[in-house]
Structure 1
Amino acid sequence: MSIQIKKEIESLKTKLRKHDYLYYVLSQPLISDKEYDDLLRQLKSLEDQNPDYRTPDSPTQRLSQVISESFKTVRHRAGMFSLDNTYSVDELKLWDERVRKGLGEAARYNYVVELKIDGVSANLTYVNRKLTVGAARGDGQTGEDVTANIRTIRAIPLVLLDKAPADLLEIRGEVYMDKKDFVKVNQQRLEEGEILFANPRNATSGSLKLLDSSVTAQRRLNFFAHSLGAYHGRPIDTQWDFLTKLTQWGVRTNPHCALCSNIQEVIDYCQKWQNKRDGLEYEIDGVVVKLNSFSQQKDLGFTAKAPRWAVAYKFAARQATTQVLAINVNVGRTGVITPVAVLKPVECSGVMISNATLHNFDEIERLGLREGDRVLIERAGDVIPKVVKVVKQQGKHPYAKPQRCPACQERIVKEKQEDVAYRCINPNCPAQLERALLHFASRDALDIEGLGEAVIAQLVKQGNLKSLA
């Protein structure tokens, strides 16, 4: 009987790893999320009944049951260098000239181009195909051991496929947060009166450094692999070959990588993705260009800080200047009061912007913002635009924080001295009721079709809806 149970457990583990590979690496899922969860529950139930058959690399063991007290520092077996940046086509051409001179005028070479994911670099160490350490980049030589948090990322395999090297393998890549998940995380923080993350990269960094990996798991982090570190196995000749092997090993890579035969093709790729980046589900801030041949990479070597054989092409920031016409306040479903800048409409990378978040009243004070000021705003993909700084102070009077809720005229207070958010303390506030009802009717909750913002506002105004009870 025990042999049969062990076989069933191994079969479920194999199925789950197969479906992880199909979903994350090949983007060809064969089963629904519910069917996957059912398999995972079956496996967990069998392991709970037979704990001797539970192994650290099981799909059920992604989440640590122990809250860390601190992160220890680990040394990377091979250094993780940063990249030099270029900011224009001319600078990219100059870099290509240096590559050609370094290799010799007669040398033949090509490039691999990869989207520069705006996330946090991580180093994954596999021994005997099993994930043993997940570390942050740190200073390039040592980094924090965040293995417990890395294991919660389902796009990162705990066990590589059989085609992977059986000995030591370091895989470098970028941990990131999708735009939609970033919005959800910040919305939750707003409702709980916490400081909002400035962008998905900051949210990712903060999530990787949490001591409680159960919270990290809720943040739904993701991963793309892009570089080879220390490696014991059959020789790999090129970056393109390496990216191909990663897929064969069960590791996710970005599907938009490309092989370019010359610098003009590189430039065309950069310009294409600068125009298309808003259509991606994640943030990118440029393109990484790498010499394809590993032997030619070795010939060019490194400066004190960066490889000579790779460079980043950074996209221009999506910013614009405009005037703050007014500062309004919104009331959230938990009573949190959020200031919003009403702007003179301005185009920012193809989109007309008329509002920008100010997060909280402390942020207004930090910026020294007044109604009437000219400000620099920044837009990041699907994220609500934000005010970066005051360009010219044109407002006559300092901003006066409201003392009462704009919806019900009840006092607004900080519940704790260390809080950054002010809240309306009226449990019957109509604005809170509207936002709470909108949340419960949303697609992420009860998904009630036809019960939108306008309908809810009318029902509350008429007195037909007075509470959620």
Structure 2
Amino acid sequence: MSKIKSKKEEAPLAGKPVAGLDATEAAAELARLAAEIAHHDSLYYQKDAPEVSDAAYDALRKRNEAIEARFPDLVRADSPSLKVGAAPVEAFGKVVHRVPMLSLGNVFDEEGVRDFLDRIRRFLGLDQDAELAFTAEPKIDGLSITLRYEGGRLVQAATRGDGYEGENVTANVRTIADIPHEIAAKDFPDPFEVRGEIYMSRSAFQKLNDAQAARGDRLFANPRNAAAGSLRQLDPTITASRPLAFFAYGWGEAPAPPADTQWGAYRAMKKWGFPLNPLAERTTSVEDMLKTYRDIESDRASLDYDIDGIVYKLDRLDLQERLGFVSRSPRFAIAHKFPAEQATTVLNDIEIQVGRTGALTPVAKLEPVTVGGVVVQNATLHNEDYIAGIGATARACARAAISASATRSSCSGPATSSRKCSTWVLDKRPKESKRFKFPTHCPSCGSLAVREVDEKTGKRDVVCRCTGGLICPAQRVERLKHFVSRNAFDIEGLGEKRIQELYDDNIIKSPPDIFTLEEKDKEKDPDEQLAKREGWGALSAQKLFAAIQARRAVKLDRFIYALGIRHVGEITGRLLARRYGTAETFVKAMRAAADDRSGEAFAELDNIEGIGPAVAVAIADFFAEPHNVTVVDELLKKVKPQELEAVDHASPVSGKTVVFTGTLERMTRSEAKARAERLGAKVAGSVSKNTDYVVAGPGAGSKLKNAKDLGVNVLTEDEWLALIE
């Protein structure tokens, strides 16, 4: 019978006083303590299953600190004294949001707010004078976060990411004092996801930058950048040292809403211990909403945190449910942004960039200027029609204090309109300035650059495009950059700089090459392998290979978006993934659509709700190119796109194709479509043999006749509601 070892036998130095340890024993004991504390941190922070008492855990840490104090030269790189909690697995790791964290639509004036209310009334079929209550609260300029509680305990925290998948920052979030680790209230739902904004106050930001300057470290551009950088530290100790704060603004997964109204839910969350913005109000008219906006805007400068607008949310949660979402935004909420901040600078030069679709985009090189705390030195001009001469003065602005693009030291809005990011101040243009001449040939490959003509309207496209297609190096490398980008395959360690480097050296020329990179690297002479390249190393090469391996399985919508098809963005990718289900079905249907533009496959593609003729033609054109088909076929030998989860697995119409026709009496057409899509149905605009249900109201015409001719199941509105309920 084997002997069970005691703790003392496993760690013979555990009971020896620190003062009695020699250097060799101290090194061994520090190694043991680092491993044991890391084990307990993992159990506590990542698995929520501690196996020792807090006192026993504290004793381990105190012993580690005492040994390090006596032998400072022996402090380990993985020392527990350098960490708080456990570092996230594989950097941060990914968290799939159970309820998507979508973004808000924006309005910039009172007319936009009134239009927002009118859209809600039209969607719900309400009279224009019907009273609607809204909550109005400051839009914090911070980092969105979701906090998951199970059994009342905080078990996971994740960033927004792309809205569907975020970063696991649980260990870091546990260091933020505003966020409760445990909720004792008996009425606290289980599970419950609280959503809110992590931010840094202006006063704390100033102190942090003062400390950074004193140490000679890099200064942060603004509080939001400081908050985001602090939260995304691999070492939670750094996050713990940064003064981060939190405001709750909503919830994700929950067994039931916290109340019947948004305002009631806020009161419930406040009672449970979550901080809410004290300036939030409940309003009952558009005049009240605008007054709240003006009042908070006038006090904006005196606040100790940055805000960039006011968020309005429809108060009744049952109406929110009926409204649902459109694309990436809720129909029941909107952000009313504050006016832009402006500064004046000089245009030094204009460079032409060639995008992945061949678009030639002029980029203004500006004299660096600080706008809203951000240095702006580039401005995308978008087209040649509104370009001023070199030496002209540009008025740059960062909408809503700091635009998303401005935080990357560039301003992406066109320099052509006062409502966008830059405008020209022509009266300050020097006499010697020259008007910029747009190139007639691609600067990358020399192919002719043309502005296409719309066959229907006869109008020239505002965008000038390279006709070189896949022979154009700029387009090929830009497509590669798009392929590995955050919302596509999201391959960590393979950013724009790496892609350019590997492309220039003929290592990666097309997407399939990415997935044979490790295999081909092993076949090379050791001195020519990635690990030996300048700026690389064995660890960085291994991490890249691991990241590529991890992305051999991605969701189908990401796969479709990554292909870089013109007009196909993230939302269109999801529409296509929902409709066709699998990569094989999608590719087969698209090849058929490309082969016969008058055939059934193309008609079905064009018939998808949300995909118009221009998008359908662009997709067919893509799959009509043999090189593109070859790339897709090669990719599918190396990656396995995953089907999207149905919106509602229990729904009897999940995966079914539905057409609405005639007048609906119990809901508006828009509401009927939105509700069907939330239940996993595919809403089409015309009837075909692939249609599963036609919901016909009074006044139904040719669609009803087509349904009967094809033998499609026809339902009345009442029958449809009975089916889905």
Q: TM-score range by the shorter chain?
A: 0.5 to 0.7
In structure 2, which of residues 118, 125, 134 is the aligned counterpart of residue 97 of structure 1?
118
Task: Give CA deviations for 1:127-182 in whole Å, capped at 9, x if unaligned.
Answer: 01100001000111110000011111100000113244252001100000000111
Task: Give CA deviations for 1:370-395 in whole Å, capped at 9, x if unaligned.
Answer: xx9887587969xxxx998997787x
* Residue 186 of structure 1 pairs with residue 206 of structure 2: no
Whole-angstrom CA distance in 2 between matches of 1:246 and 1:193: 42
Counterparts in 2 of 1:139-288, with a 5 A limit?
A: 139-233=162-256, 236-288=259-311
The alignment of Structure 1 onto Structure 2 pairs a total of residues equal to 309
Contact 1:178 1:200 (C-alpha < 8 Å) held by counterparts: yes
- Describe the SS at the equivalent of 2:157: strand
Give 1:130's aligned residue: 153
The alignment's C-alpha RMSD in Å is 4.0
* Residue 87 of structure 1 pairs with residue 103 of structure 2: no
Whole-angstrom CA distance in 1 between matches of 2:99 and 2:226: 27
Counterparts in 2 of 1:269-348, with a 5 A limit?
A: 269-321=292-344
Task: Give CA deviations for 1:395-425 in whole Å, capped at 9, x if unaligned.
Answer: x9xxxxxxxxxxxxxxxxxxxxx9xxxxxxx
Whole-angstrom CA distance in 2 between matches of 1:377 and 1:208: 28
Structure 2: gaps (5+ residues): 1-52, 61-82, 347-366, 380-391, 412-421, 433-534, 536-725
Whole-angstrom CA distance in 1 between matches of 2:57 and 2:214: 40
Whole-angstrom CA distance in 2 between matches of 1:165 and 1:377: 45
CA positional deviation for 1:75 = 1.2
Give 1:439's aligned residue: none
TM-score by length of 2: 0.38
CA positional deviation for 1:65 = 4.1
CA positional deviation for 1:253 = 0.6
Give 1:408's aligned residue: none
CA positional deviation for 1:48 = 6.5
Structure 1: gaps (5+ residues): 1-46, 55-62, 324-340, 350-355, 367-371, 397-417, 419-469
In structure 2, which of residues 74, 84, 91 is the aligned counterpart of residue 64 of structure 1?
84
CA positional deviation for 1:364 = 8.8
Whole-angstrom CA distance in 2 between matches of 1:232 and 1:316: 39
Whole-angstrom CA distance in 2 between matches of 1:208 and 1:310: 27
Give 2:539's aligned residue: none
- Report the CA distance shift for 1:70/1:180 in structure 2 as closer, same or farther (over 3 A): same
Contact 2:222 2:374 (C-alpha < 8 Å) held by counterparts: no
CA positional deviation for 1:49 = 4.5
Contact 1:124 1:135 (C-alpha < 8 Å) held by counterparts: yes
Whole-angstrom CA distance in 2 between matches of 1:234 and 1:65: 32
Contact 2:146 2:195 (C-alpha < 8 Å) held by counterparts: yes
Whole-angstrom CA distance in 1 between matches of 2:212 and 2:223: 14
- Report the CA distance shift for 1:52/1:210 in structure 2 as closer, same or farther (over 3 A): closer
The one-letter amino acid paired with 2:287 is Q
Whole-angstrom CA distance in 1 between matches of 2:264 and 2:59: 37
- Report the CA distance shift for 1:102/1:220 in structure 2 as closer, same or farther (over 3 A): same
CA positional deviation for 1:50 = 4.4
- Describe the SS at the equivalent of 1:230: coil
The one-letter amino acid paired with 1:295 is D
Whole-angstrom CA distance in 2 between matches of 1:53 and 1:109: 58
Whole-angstrom CA distance in 2 between matches of 1:197 and 1:51: 36
Whole-angstrom CA distance in 2 between matches of 1:210 and 1:267: 39
Whole-angstrom CA distance in 2 between matches of 1:99 and 1:127: 35
CA positional deviation for 1:105 = 2.4
* More contact order relative to length (CA 8 Å, sep ≥ 6): 1
Give 2:136's aligned residue: 113
Whole-angstrom CA distance in 2 between matches of 1:307 and 1:71: 28
Whole-angstrom CA distance in 2 between matches of 1:269 and 1:138: 30
Contact 1:277 1:284 (C-alpha < 8 Å) held by counterparts: yes
- Describe the SS at the equivalent of 2:92: coil
Whole-angstrom CA distance in 2 between matches of 1:64 and 1:165: 28
CA positional deviation for 1:357 = 9.5
Whole-angstrom CA distance in 2 between matches of 1:113 and 1:235: 18
Contact 2:144 2:197 (C-alpha < 8 Å) held by counterparts: yes
Larger C-alpha radius of gyration, 1 or 2? 2
Contact 1:67 1:211 (C-alpha < 8 Å) held by counterparts: yes
Name whichever structure is richer in strand by fraction. 1
CA positional deviation for 1:271 = 1.4
TM-score by length of 1: 0.58
CA positional deviation for 1:234 = 7.0
Whole-angstrom CA distance in 2 between matches of 1:75 and 1:238: 27
What percentage of aligned pairs have identical amino acids? 36
The one-letter amino acid paired with 1:198 is A
